[in-house]
Structure 1
Amino acid sequence: MEKIIVDPDNRATFRNNVDYCVGTGRLGLALTEEYLKELEFVQKMIGFSYIRGHGLFSDDVSIYHEYEEDGETKVEYNYTYIDRIFDSYLKLGIRPYLELGFMPGQLASGTQTIFYWKGNTTPPKDYKKWTDMVIALLQHLKKRYGEETVTWPIEVWNEPNLPGFWYKADMEEYFKLFKETFLAIKAYDSRYMVGGPAICGVKDAEWIESFLKFCQKEGIRPDRITRHHYCVEFPERIGHYDYSKLEDSEMRFANLQSTRDIVDSFEEFKNTPIHLTEFSTSYTPKGVIHDTNINAAYLARQLSRLGDVNEAYSYWTFGDVFEEQGVPDSLFHGGFGMVAAGNIPKPSFWTFYFYKQLKVFGSECVHRDDNCVIVKNENGYAGIVWNIGETEIKREYLLGGAEGEYALVTKTVDETCCNPLKVWHDIGEPAYPTTEETQLIKSAAYPAVGSDVIKADNGHVTVTACVKKHGVVYFTLNKRNYTPDRGYDYDKVISFF
């Protein structure tokens, strides 16, 4: 068994920004009941600050309208749906991260669309009408929600380096879109924080470097550099589903570092914050890995290090109400969400919940390695231990600076004790489970809780972590305040009968 001595005076680099932002399917889905129930659950349990999704200007949200009057084409805006959507967000304690896209049909220069819901991905036919629409929306939001709206982050478009998301992946045309949008927003109110280029994967280094050279030439200083981060090889499609192999974590972290290095190579852009406005394992909404315990363990390592070179990172997505490739065919369909229909938390949900609890517990990180992160406060320690491998790992953590008794509480998520996918499979994989089946599956979707009383020995208290294959364990170790009632003897209670 591996033994690790943890010095309470040690300080390890660990920037935990797990609750900054989370992703969502297109904004129009926020008009549905199931969507709001899932978001309410996530907010109650974790509490993200911002939410980012596609389709702000798509036709289903219905903001932009052209009409003919006296032989002249005129424009009007309709904020009925976006107000309902954002009202719902603010009621749940979350604010929009404004991704500016896709193109309204009447403003589009072409007919190319993406997804089941046909988001138009062509440039505007008139850039002045585009920027007028953007500024009109910001004015409306400020009037409705107040000055706080200037703190809502803004990102120009989504994945323009992919031809499906931006017509022909035209770099020069995207740079024009960014410039016109950036300058219009800053002219309206310079306090807004505007970022780009929101790229994903393909030619990422080329796009980042070219984007910064363009900004340098034009005298533009983006407030954030935005990009995406996915961690699987190209998937194999079988029936409705995508099967992908995970990429090596170190390779993915190196890719993130390369973006940081490129940004910092420009003197005027050095230390500009980087936002991962989407990240996950698989990049498809039918990626079966999303529903599994291995997803939870892999993400535990990601979350331990994503803050090293990125100011923010937003998981894609909070829930399974999602329609990019059509309405989901089954309960567990490989959806992006950390929560399945019926508010069934997937194993990955608990990874995020544990990291939020770690943030609440204490900000002083005393130990971090490839399998764990441990923080402390004045009352004790808390940590997360994960196992991406094939066999159980056993570790002893000797936590220093201890005296007296401590209460150890563990919460375990692994394939044995927190695996709703297995229960669903074992009862026959019902695509549309009944209320009773949903409750049964949900009952298997919560961590196993354990507890113990541990006494300090020679200034250390020892926590033994046994983490099964694809497991994640969260523990807290707090000084024990023992206050028994008169006449109550626990040892006698459990041995008396």
Structure 2
Amino acid sequence: MINKIKCNIAKDTSFPFNNNASFCIGTGRMGLALQKAYHDQLKMVQDEIGFSHIRGHGLFCDDMAIYQQYEENGVVKTEYNFTYLDMVIDDYISLGLKPFVELGFMPHKMASDTQTVFYWKGNVTPPKDYEKWANLIKATLLHWIDRYGLEEVITWPFEVWNEPNLTSFWKNADMQEYFKLYEISAKAVKEVDSRIRIGGPAICGVDDERWLKEFLSYCSKNKLPLDIVTRHAYATELPDRVGHYDYQKLRAPEVFLDELKISREIIDSFPEYKGMEMHITEFNTSYTPKNPIHDTNLNAAYTARLLSEMGDTCASYSYWTFGDIFEEQGVAFTPFSGCFGLVANGMIPKPTFWTFSFFKQLTGSCIARDKNYILTKDENDVIRGIVWNPVEEIHGEADIDLSFQLPLDNGKYVIISKLVDENTCNPLKTWLDIGSPNYPSEKELALIKSCANPLTSTQRKTISDKKLDLSFLLKRNALLYFEVKKIHPQVDRGFQPERIQGAHKLETK
């Protein structure tokens, strides 16, 4: 079955498109940045996509070694060690990234209890001494200012903690205790410099409406510093767990997007916070790093729909995560383990890598948008578009035929397209075809990577009636980027394409 979709675009049609897809990218805990493979994956992402900020856990965890205690003359004293922190932030900055700083988790020597989360045991309890917590924040900020300069540090957004509405991330999901943590943390940040932006509550979609309302009410009533609102969003239902893997059904994209609209409405219901930036500091399809969906073409096509609309309500939306050097539930057993990243271990770009690469190319105003496509036009009249066809059902076909009629001046044009689908750009399938080796050889990795790039094609067309008809047939879970721009061909003396094999179909009308 083929579903036909037609779009006739009127001349001079345009409306704003808030394309914030490359503002921020997620990472596993910061200590992983000391690994070479982590750096290599991040560099690959930055070279192709180029995010502006990076956000992850573990700033104050023990593996970063910042908070230290020692005893002198029977008195316990505090000192700070920023050696590893400098290595991490220096590397981020060298790759063109600014930190989106998450203040957490709790250093064990400062923690009030022993509850931890993840394979790497991040402590998720309040501090024994809130004054020491505030001093830790201030010392870290002052160190950053000394090293990178105040004008740089004030461009870094800050948020307090991670998902305090879950008992696994904040002891007892104690709302009032989190509000205390937020108040002291925000005041500590502002004590260093009032221009540093701070926010919260970094909640996920569990009892999120109540948490957001109560948090904003508390900040309003107590006149607390609040510059941005942060939350997380994931698009799957509860998992079916089998061995090392979790399998989940996707929610309808509209349900995911409506959740963000409700948060936006709650923020705007407070006069003092109306229009305040809302940052989604984590989002993905699944919230578990053991769901194979993250490695699929379905993930790429579904995510494209989200990226086309999330900017309507959100100042940013940080995909969780850039790569698969990630250890929340342990070290992955295979290259395709269902982990969150855009890049699989072995430097293999997953299909969703190209979703973000394609959205990075969209500039200018939007001229058409629907649930399967978005088109933009820039100041040079270059038209760029992305089309997608997510199909969650494993069996059966559900292709779509997308047709566009574009109003363009007469002349010669080139049409460039890049296709990512289950036949042309599917490294997961290649890995399975060769026997799903747990530890691929260099030769096997080269083969997998050769099947992980879009199929790129070009064609030339001459327009004589001020319109261009384009049509794309998208198989299940396909994602396609295209670009239409005017060209002025240069012909070398004696060069006759019609006499050259492979070139005589240079142009179509």
TM over 0.5: yes
Q: Tell me which residue corresponds to 1:366.
A: 367
Q: Tell me which residue corresponds to 2:117.
A: 114
Q: CA deviation at 1:408?
A: 0.4
Does the 8 A contact of 1:8 with 1:376 survive in 2?
no
Q: CA deviation at 1:150?
A: 1.4
1:172-191 equivalences under 5 Å are 172-191=176-195
Residue of 282, 288, 291 corresponding to 1:278? 282
**In the superposition, relative to structure 1, how do residues 496 and 264 fare at CA in structure 2: closer, same or farther (>3 Å)?**
closer
Does the 8 A contact of 1:230 with 1:279 survive in 2?
yes
- Secondary structure class of the residue paired with 2:317: strand
- Secondary structure class of the residue paired with 1:494: coil
1:138 aligns with 2:145: no
Amino acid at match of 2:308: S
Q: Can you list the C-alpha shifts for 1:206-238, whole angstroms capped at 9, x where unaligned?
A: 000000110111012411110001000111111
| Partner Cα distance (1:416, 1:103) in 2 | 46
| Partner Cα distance (1:402, 1:427) in 2 | 49
| Partner Cα distance (1:81, 1:496) in 2 | 56
Q: CA deviation at 1:7?
A: 2.2
1:57 aligns with 2:60: yes
**In the superposition, relative to structure 1, how do residues 94 and 495 fare at CA in structure 2: closer, same or farther (>3 Å)?**
closer
Judge which range, 335-344 or 437-446, deviates more: 335-344
Q: Can you list the C-alpha shifts for 1:53-88, whole angstroms capped at 9, x where unaligned?
A: 000000000000111111111000000100011111
Does the 8 A contact of 1:366 with 1:375 survive in 2?
yes
Q: Tell me which residue corresponds to 2:465.
A: 458
1:398 aligns with 2:405: yes
Residue of 386, 389, 403 corresponding to 2:388? 386
Q: Tell me which residue corresponds to 1:441.
A: 448
Ranges of 4+ aligned residues in structure 1 off by more than 4 Å: none
Q: Can you list the C-alpha shifts for 1:8-52, whole angstroms capped at 9, x where unaligned?
A: 411234210111000000000000010000000000001111000
Amino acid at match of 1:350: W
Q: Tell me which residue corresponds to 1:152.
A: 156
Does the 8 A contact of 1:25 with 1:317 survive in 2?
yes
Q: Percent identity?
A: 50
Amino acid at match of 1:403: N
Judge which range, 419-428 or 383-392, deviates more: 383-392
Amino acid at match of 1:267: P
Q: CA deviation at 1:95?
A: 1.3
1:225 aligns with 2:232: no
Judge which range, 412-421 or 476-485, deviates more: 476-485
1:63-462 equivalences under 5 Å are 63-147=66-150, 148-358=152-362, 362-377=363-378, 378-389=380-391, 390-462=397-469
- Secondary structure class of the residue paired with 2:500: helix
Q: Tell me which residue corresponds to 1:480.
A: 487
- Secondary structure class of the residue paired with 2:110: coil
Q: CA deviation at 1:303?
A: 0.1
| Partner Cα distance (2:214, 2:162) in 1 | 17
- Secondary structure class of the residue paired with 2:114: coil
| Partner Cα distance (1:454, 1:217) in 2 | 63
| Partner Cα distance (2:388, 2:503) in 1 | 39
| Partner Cα distance (2:11, 2:20) in 1 | 22
Does the 8 A contact of 1:8 with 1:366 survive in 2?
no
Amino acid at match of 2:279: H
- Secondary structure class of the residue paired with 1:60: helix
- Secondary structure class of the residue paired with 1:68: strand
1:37 aligns with 2:44: no
Q: Can you list the C-alpha shifts for 1:79-137, whole angstroms capped at 9, x where unaligned?
A: 01000111111111111111000000000000000000000000000000000000000
- Secondary structure class of the residue paired with 1:151: coil
Q: CA deviation at 1:319?
A: 0.2
| Partner Cα distance (2:60, 2:447) in 1 | 40
Amino acid at match of 1:481: H
| Partner Cα distance (2:15, 2:134) in 1 | 45
Q: CA deviation at 1:320?
A: 0.4
Q: CA deviation at 1:457?
A: 4.1
Q: CA deviation at 1:451?
A: 1.0
| Partner Cα distance (2:498, 2:453) in 1 | 29
Does the 8 A contact of 2:295 with 2:336 survive in 1?
yes
5+ long unaligned stretches in structure 2: 392-396, 505-509
Q: CA deviation at 1:455?
A: 1.9
Q: CA deviation at 1:301?
A: 0.1
Q: Tell me which residue corresponds to 1:471.
A: 478
| Partner Cα distance (1:341, 1:187) in 2 | 42
| Partner Cα distance (2:201, 2:14) in 1 | 35
Question: Root-mean-square deviation (CA), in Å?
Answer: 1.2
| Partner Cα distance (1:8, 1:427) in 2 | 50
**In the superposition, relative to structure 1, how do residues 490 and 276 fare at CA in structure 2: closer, same or farther (>3 Å)?**
same
Amino acid at match of 1:386: W
| Partner Cα distance (2:210, 2:167) in 1 | 15
Q: CA deviation at 1:466?
A: 1.2
| Partner Cα distance (2:201, 2:477) in 1 | 35
Amino acid at match of 1:95: K
Q: CA deviation at 1:380?
A: 2.5
Does the 8 A contact of 2:290 with 2:337 survive in 1?
yes
| Partner Cα distance (2:143, 2:84) in 1 | 13
5+ long unaligned stretches in structure 1: none
| Partner Cα distance (1:213, 1:202) in 2 | 18
| Partner Cα distance (2:255, 2:93) in 1 | 38
| Partner Cα distance (2:218, 2:333) in 1 | 44
Does the 8 A contact of 1:291 with 1:332 survive in 2?
yes
- Secondary structure class of the residue paired with 1:313: strand
| Partner Cα distance (1:278, 1:65) in 2 | 30
Amino acid at match of 1:302: L
| Partner Cα distance (1:228, 1:287) in 2 | 18
| Partner Cα distance (1:84, 1:213) in 2 | 39
Amino acid at match of 1:283: Y
Does the 8 A contact of 1:12 with 1:368 survive in 2?
no
Does the 8 A contact of 2:186 with 2:225 survive in 1?
no
| Partner Cα distance (2:360, 2:354) in 1 | 10
Amino acid at match of 1:54: H
Q: Tell me which residue corresponds to 1:20.
A: 23
Amino acid at match of 1:141: W
Does the 8 A contact of 1:296 with 1:351 survive in 2?
yes
| Partner Cα distance (1:237, 1:427) in 2 | 26
